[in-house]
Amino acid sequence: MHASAPATFDGKLFVRHLTPAPGVYRMYASDGVLLYVGKAGNLKKRVSSYFMRPLMEPRIAAMVAQIARMETTITRTESEALMLEAQLIKQLQPRYNILLRDGKSYPYVLITAHAEYPRLAWYRGARSAPGSYFGPFPSSGAVRESLSLLHKLFHLRGCEESYFRNRTRPCLQHQIGRCSAPCVGLISPVDYAADVRHVQMFLQGRSSAVIDEIVVLMQRASAAQEFERAARLRDQIQALRTVQSEHYVQGASTDMDVLACRISGESACVSVLFFRNGLALGSRDFFPRMGVDAPTPGALLAQFIAQYYVERAAPTELILEHAPEQPDLLGQALGEHAGHEVRIKTQVRGDRARFIELAGRNAEAALATRLASRQTLEARFADLARLLALPKPPARIECFDISHTQGEATVASCVAYGPEGPMKGHYRKFNIAGIVAGDDYAAMEQALTRRFRRAAEGGDWASPDLLLIDGGTGQIARAEQVLDALCVRDVPIVGVAKGPARRSGEETLVLAHGGGQLHPGSASPALQLINAVRDEAHRFAIGAHRRRREATRERSVLQDIPGIGPRRRRMLLNAFGGLAGLQDAGVEEIARVSGIDRSLAARIYAALHG
């Protein structure tokens, strides 16, 4: 690794000591901010291009003028440099790189590795649990829709292991025809294993083979005069054929993703269609942050692909609307990362050409919608600055709200909004403690103190340009006291007080420090923005409060039962998946939990059912 001195940066001198090896370079400003990350097959040649060219695009020249320090990391191959570049961009988010803004992990369908009765479930996160994974799916909605279909077709269980082990009678899922009730032995391990195999075949794109097997089973049942079973198998075959006609896609027999992009000024959209084993899993639109260069569609797709697939294995084929930069290098790097060959194709015909056309239309429509939404949002931010006499539209708005049930499980929420909408990675919740139950003023004081003290102590929370408080003059006064005590002087505070009829659009804006009140009216773009932020804070607070309340009630209900200490309470909740599952259980089911005899189970049942 090479590093320059922190004095005025001499790019030409730095280049002299560089190697022609492949690697990654990083540019830093004088304040330590990372400006740019790039990769090169020849570091010396690539880095020198920033300092030897007499003419550069203005944006690149502006970036180069800020360089105070550079670092390089040598790699063994250029493909290794490509993946390292993508990892660093994702982790460090340099100011001038194209940046894929996608912090989510993607969900899978999981068939667990249970010895006799595997579970069919939704799964998100590192693929560490033993079992068979299918996906990834583009959204949780897509995987839940698929699971609903699979449970309807094949009747595998979806319950947690603890719930499954403690059942003594079939649950509601069996009654509505979505589970074969292996928990109480209504299906043999052999028949259940056949259903598991059929699910796996179905998810592998072998639905015709599944239908053929079930046809044979139906014929055998009919020959054995098991007419009720034969009728169930006939209905299953009909349902499978319907699904086959609706969900399987011609021309998508392999695992592949189809990508297209649209660019408009400094905005872009990449649309991805996902296909696995002939099944269309859905689509997803991405809006990467544009970098210092004005990229071509091919360059944008190359950057997107490197960053997107650095965190997940690429499928065997990527079908692209535009040829990416260095497609052979990109395919090699993706293949090394995924552990299998990855083919990148752009010249396609037939069904695949239609997929590209569809992805292109998706990207175009999504970008148009986003630009229109952004224009509306920009207009609202501008109107907000005018209404509140701010020097410029705020780059960061924060709103606080309090939620509780008659003082129980009080939670304060803090949501953040910027010119592009919600900044969900900056949302925070505060579990309030040590106050008089139901004292919203004290709750607000505690939340604001914790939030702004962290910023004052050099924490990683940037101060907002505008602070919204869900409340009137009392809450505003408490907010003023907190910020004054912490010497926070430059954050405007606005209270959002509901009107007499509590109708949206009739709110009164209460300005801090005796600034008076405003009544913008429902047609005001500024008030529409404020209400959107306030409603989001309210939604976030209610969700956090309900989760805390349920956890508290689970503990408190069981604490009142003699003989139930922390260990037994934990075992009961784990066994039934929470208080709701325990309340649904009978005495015999409760008594099956380790350490719970029948008399204690009866006391627990009586306590839970009044």
User: How many domains does the chain contain in total?
Assistant: 5
| Residue 403 sits in the same domain as residue 493 | yes
Write phi, then psi, for 436 (nearest 5 degrees): -65, 130
DSSP 8-state code for residue 464: P
In a domain, 604, yes or no: yes
| Residue 297 sits in the same domain as residue 351 | yes
What is the Cα–Cα distance from 469 to 315, expressed in whole angstroms?
A: 47
What's the whole-number mean pLDDT along residues 377-390? 94
For residue range 117-172, list pLDDT tens digits in order.
999 998 887 777 788 888 788 878 888 888 888 898 899 999 988 788 878 888 88
In a domain, 377, yes or no: no
Look at 357 and 584; give whichever has higher pLDDT.
357
Residue 570's CATH number: 1.10.150.20
In a domain, 391, yes or no: no
- The string of DSSP letters for 113-172 reads --SSSPPEEEEES-TTSSEEEE---SSHHHHHHHHHHHHHHH----S-HHHHHT-SS--H
Whole-number pLDDT of residue 351? 86
For residue range 534-576, list pLDDT tens digits in order.
999 999 999 989 888 877 766 667 777 888 887 888 788 777 7
Look at 401 and 351; give whichever has higher pLDDT.
401
Which of 214, 247, 280 finishes a domain?
247
pLDDT at residue 354 tops 80: yes
**The token pair that represents 144 in the structure block:** 């839940």
Q: Alpha helix locations (H) across 58-132?
A: 58-65, 78-92
For residue range 171-189, list pLDDT tens digits in order.
889 989 899 999 999 999 9
Domain with 482, as residue range(s), is 397-548
| Residue 350 sits in the same domain as residue 447 | no
| Residue 153 sits in the same domain as residue 173 | yes
Write 188-197 long-range contacts (CB < 8 A, 24+): 189/116, 189/117, 192/116, 192/117, 192/156, 193/116, 195/154, 195/155, 195/156, 196/111, 196/118, 196/156
Whole-number pLDDT of residue 120? 92
3-state helix, strand, coil in the chain (%, to 5): 45, 20, 35
Whole-number pLDDT of residue 253? 64
Are 411 and 446 contacting, i.e. CB atoms less than 8 angstroms apart? no
| Residue 465 sits in the same domain as residue 357 | no
Whether the ω angle into residue 189 lies within 30 degrees of 0, i.e. cis, is no
Which of 198, 219, 247 finishes a domain?
247
| Residue 87 sits in the same domain as residue 31 | yes
| Residue 426 sits in the same domain as residue 332 | no
Whole-number pLDDT of residue 601? 87
In a domain, 36, yes or no: yes
Closest by CA position to 105, among listed 132, 160, 143: 143
Whole-number pLDDT of residue 224? 84
pLDDT at residue 313 tops 80: yes
Q: Which residue has the tokens 């570049």?
A: 85
What's the whole-number mean pLDDT along residues 56-85? 89
Q: Which residue has the tokens 């299906």?
A: 187
| Residue 111 sits in the same domain as residue 211 | yes
In a domain, 101, yes or no: no
In a domain, 555, yes or no: no
**Mean pLDDT score across all residues of the chain:** 87
The DSSP H or E segment spanning 335 is: helix 327-338
In a domain, 378, yes or no: no
Q: Which residue has the tokens 């139930």?
A: 564
Whole-number pLDDT of residue 459? 62
| Residue 506 sits in the same domain as residue 573 | no
Residue 518's CATH number: 3.30.420.340
Q: Which residue has the tokens 């209504």?
A: 186
Where does the pLDDT of residue 4 fall: very low under 50, low under 70, confident under 90, or very high at 90 and above? very low
* pTM, to two decimals: 0.68
What's the whole-number mean pLDDT along residues 357-382? 91
Whole-number pLDDT of residue 458? 65
Which of 225, 247, 269 finishes a domain?
247
Closest by CA position to 77, among listed 23, 1, 2, 25: 23
In a domain, 118, yes or no: yes
pLDDT at residue 610 tops 50: yes
| Residue 489 sits in the same domain as residue 568 | no
Look at 14 and 246; give whichever has higher pLDDT.
14
| Residue 337 sits in the same domain as residue 411 | no
| Residue 19 sits in the same domain as residue 160 | no
pLDDT at residue 435 tops 60: yes
Beta bridge partners of 28: 34, 69
pLDDT at residue 70 tops 60: yes
* 111-137 core/surface letters (b: 16 or more CB in 10 A; e: else): bbebeebbbbbbbeeeeeeebbebbbb
